[in-house]
Amino acid sequence: MPFFGARRARQTRVFRPSRSVWEKIRSSLQDYKVLTLLLVAMLAIISLVLSVRAWSSPFPYREGQVSSAGIQARVDFQIEDLLATRQAKSEAEENARLVFVQDNTVLDNIAAKFKSDLSAIANEKSLSKLPKEVVDAFQLKTEIPSDVEKGTSPSTRFDQVRLAITHSETPVADSVDRMAQEFSALLSGAQAVGVLNSDALTVGELSKEEHQPQMPIEIVGTDGRAISYNLLTDIILADQLLDTGRFGSAWLTLPNLVQIRPAVEAWLKNRMKGQMSFSSNLTEERRREAVNLVEPQYNSFSKGRVLVSPGTLIGKEQLEQLDVLTVEHRAHEEHTTFNGRLRRVAGAALLITMMVVLYGVYICRNERHLLQQTGQLVALVVICAAAVLLSGIVSRDPWRAEVIPLLAAVMTIAIVHSQLLAVLTGFCLSILITMSTVGQLSHFAVLMLLSFIVPIPLRSISSRSVIIKLGFLLAAVAFLSVWGFSAMQSLDFADAWIHPSILIVALKFAGWSLVCCFIVHGSLPFIESAFGIVTDISLLELTDVSHELLQELARRAPGTYNHSITVATIGEAAADSIGANGLLLRVGAYFHDIGKMVKPDYFIENMAAGAENPHDKLAPAMSALIIIGHVKDGVEMAEQHNLPRKLIDFIEQHHGTTLVEYFFREATNRADEDHRTDADESTFRYPGPRPQTKETGVMMLSDAIESASRTLSEPTPKRIQSLVKEITLKRVLDGQFDECGLTMRELRTVQESLVKSLLAVHHGRVKYPDQKTA
């Protein structure tokens, strides 16, 4: 006897070396499905990196935001002082040159007119005989204050002027010529600069008080070219007639004309008009040019300067602070090097890759059916990328509407897929949206809180009011969370609770949350159509027996209609017992046999009692073909009436690949003894597919058991229970439930529910004695 016990027989094993990691990766990359999933993952990473604009840092400051640690300038920068710039432009406009147009042809006419008026005075001996225009020109009838003081009358002044012209022995004509020549010499000083009559200063824009005599002016010719640049006082006639003026300083060189200086000055004031005219259009043009030449005025900020003190709330009264922060952010972006931007992209890509991996692991473990639906995965990527991109756009002041894309994306995924996937999506999107907007922990907390709440009531949308009620709940949570976080971050906690900026931001978040729910509520039919889903709302609408297909079924195949109603009743209870969607099964049962209305007389439930069976005249294969064909006919009718895909699945899968046993046995019995005409089993099987969901699996059992129960002459509880077990076992052995996810425990629960429901359908009745005739 061996010391260590009996020797064990050695087993021969074939040694197979395990493949290395690289070999496994290489073989996986040769799989088309794996490559497709990798491409979708790469698409997700690239699109999300682009959506968050990873190469640039977002502007993180908003109205109503509290800066807990304060804000310092990260770079040296300048910001335009709008008030100083506006003031400088105003001063430039006020100091712009006034433009006058000079017409020297007026001077030639004036010299000739002066000579004519002198001749008129010389030729008349009495003031009364002098033409009125000459009298008015020399002001010979006007009482001059200096003459009144001296007791000089107008007639005396007339005599003085006439005497100055005619007193010498020189002929009058020569004397007039000399004075006219001296007058022309006097006017020569006005040729280059020009003269503006004092009366023009009281008309139009020149009458404004701000036009001071020392204001600069520009003199241009009639062709628009500049002649000279002077001061306003250089062209005003009254100023030039003073001793310091051009005319006043020239009298010493005019011995003849100086004798009648007062009269000449009076004549100039009355006759010297039209040589200079003010141009408002050219002046306005010069003002615009002066304003355009003004350089912007800047305030300089050095690196490290405190822009916002700790605990300060950026409100409406601090909007200038936001302008400063905006310019500082732009300056910081301009100073960012290419390597710096590359590091940002790399960091964002790494974070997003981790999120995509997390997302992929969850899908592989909990949503494996999505791995076979590339279109749905791409749709998820598009939804997430669009939500991040739109959130970054609408998050700026004054909108602050980043919750709309976030909540809309989470709600859509909760409706289309599952609550857990929606929560995971909300978590990832909250991180990305926070990263691409303000980058604050409190902002992430608010978004994450709203994302967690959204999927809770969306497990089954039994009425449209569910989404509206969710909107009001989200609005309340958004208001309280934004209000609370902002108040806690403020140093002045007491005033923060009632600060208008905080309340406005909280109300915006609440309002946009409510608006988002209304948008999703209105878009629900489009979501169902785009993703091929059906919500409980749509299912409830399809339970209406007035639907044209159900009405047609009741009219053409009443037996099938009653069968469908019964199957719906017992199947819904069975589905609810295992946590499946009983409402979906109920609606699917209503429509599962609509194909029978094409040839209703070939189905036993529609045959009248005592009527001839049409199958008696057909070969078993032909009869089986008609029976099996009701599935194909039903699918075509459902597609024509735009029934949802999930309901069409019930029509296709409620028989799976089961055998039409009755006609198969008939065909087998008719086979020749030499087996040359044996029945081919595949000819008598439904094309399938087998049930793919728990609902279609329960539907298959309910349909088969309800039909079989009608054959029981005495449906006692024991017989019904035996029938249910027999049919269930037959379907299990035939592999009909291999692809629908039903467990044996769930099948047992379904059997119990079906037995209970069938007992209620086939309940016993009290037998009353025959009524005797009176």
pLDDT in tens, 635-680: 999 999 989 989 999 999 999 999 998 898 888 887 655 455 567 8
| Region at 478 (left for phi over 0; alpha for psi -120 to 50; beta for the rest) | alpha
Higher pLDDT, 716 or 200: 716
Check whether residue 592 and residue 524 sit in a common domain: no
pLDDT, residue 713, reads: 82
Q: Which of residues 335, 364, 398 is at a domain's end?
A: 335
In order, the DSSP letters of 559-603 are HHHHHHHHHHHHHHHHHHHTTS-HHHHHHHHHHTTGGGGSSGGGS
pLDDT, residue 565, reads: 94
Q: What is the DSSP letter of 676?
A: T
pLDDT at residue 411 tops 70: yes
Q: Between vectors from CA 114 to CA 111 and to CA 116, what angle results, nearest 5°?
A: 110
pLDDT, residue 59, reads: 87
pLDDT, residue 319, reads: 55
Check whether residue 247 and residue 222 sit in a common domain: yes
Strands 98-102, 216-220: pairing kind: parallel
pLDDT at residue 150 tops 60: no
637 burial level (CB within 10 Å; 0-12, 13-18, 19+): buried
Q: What is the average pLDDT score of the chain? A: 83
Q: How confident is the model at residue 369 (pLDDT cuts 50, 70, 90)?
A: confident
Check whether residue 196 and residue 314 sit in a common domain: no
Check whether residue 458 and residue 556 sit in a common domain: no
Q: What is the DSSP letter of 770?
A: P
Flag the least confident range among 144-158, 359-373, 539-553, 649-663: 144-158
Which residues, other chains included, contact 114 with Cβ-Cβ below 8 Å and sequence gap of 6+? 180, 183, 267, 271
pTM of the model: 0.69
pLDDT, residue 148, reads: 44
Check whether residue 411 and residue 548 sit in a common domain: no
The type of residue at 268 is L
Q: Which domain CATH number covers 737?
A: 1.10.3210
pLDDT at residue 301 tops 90: no
Rounded to an integer, what distance in angstroms lies between the CA atom of residue 571 and that of residue 589? 8
- In tens, the pLDDT along 51-102 reads 999 998 888 888 777 777 778 888 888 888 888 888 988 888 888 888 888 7
Higher pLDDT, 321 or 725: 725
Q: How distant, in Å, are the alpha carbons of 210, 288, 515, 692 from that of 218? A: 17, 15, 63, 93
Count CB-CB contacts under 10 A for residue 60.
16
Most confident of 20-29, 122-131, 324-333: 324-333
Q: Which of residues 533, 562, 586 is at a domain's end?
A: 533
pLDDT at residue 144 tops 80: no
Check whether residue 427 and residue 394 sit in a common domain: yes
pLDDT at residue 602 tops 70: yes
**pLDDT average, residue stretch 387-404:** 91
**Does 193 map to a domain?**
yes
Most confident of 2-6, 143-147, 572-576: 572-576
The type of residue at 550 is L
Check whether residue 678 and residue 554 sit in a common domain: yes
Q: How confident is the model at residue 468 (pLDDT cuts 50, 70, 90)?
A: very high
Check whether residue 224 and residue 324 sit in a common domain: no
Domain count, the chain: 4
Check whether residue 635 and residue 749 sit in a common domain: yes
Check whether residue 118 and residue 244 sit in a common domain: yes
pLDDT, residue 19, reads: 65
Domain that holds residue 342: 30-57+338-533
Instruction: Report helix angle 717-733 to 744-761, nearest 10.
Output: 140
**pLDDT average, residue stretch 171-175:** 79
**Does 153 map to a domain?**
no
Rounded to an integer, what distance in angstroms lies between the CA atom of residue 49 and that of residue 52? 5
Check whether residue 491 and residue 430 sit in a common domain: yes
pLDDT, residue 430, reads: 96
> Which residues, in sequence order, are bridge partners of residue 176?
none
Residue with tokens 């009281």: 202
Q: Which of residues 504, 533, 562 is at a domain's end?
A: 533
Check whether residue 38 and residue 116 sit in a common domain: no
Q: How distant, in Å, are the alpha carbons of 378, 408, 418, 530 from that of 375? A: 5, 20, 17, 11
Residue 451 and residue 426 in contact, taking contact as beta carbons nearer than 8 Å: yes
pLDDT, residue 724, reads: 95
Q: How confident is the model at residue 603 (pLDDT cuts 50, 70, 90)?
A: very high
Residue 727 Cα to chain centre, angstroms: 57
Token readout for 186 is: 């006097």
Residue with tokens 């009366």: 199
**Does 4 map to a domain?**
no
**Does 444 map to a domain?**
yes
pLDDT, residue 98, reads: 85
Residue 89 Cα to chain centre, angstroms: 38
**pLDDT average, residue stretch 375-380:** 92
End-to-end CA distance of the chain: 102
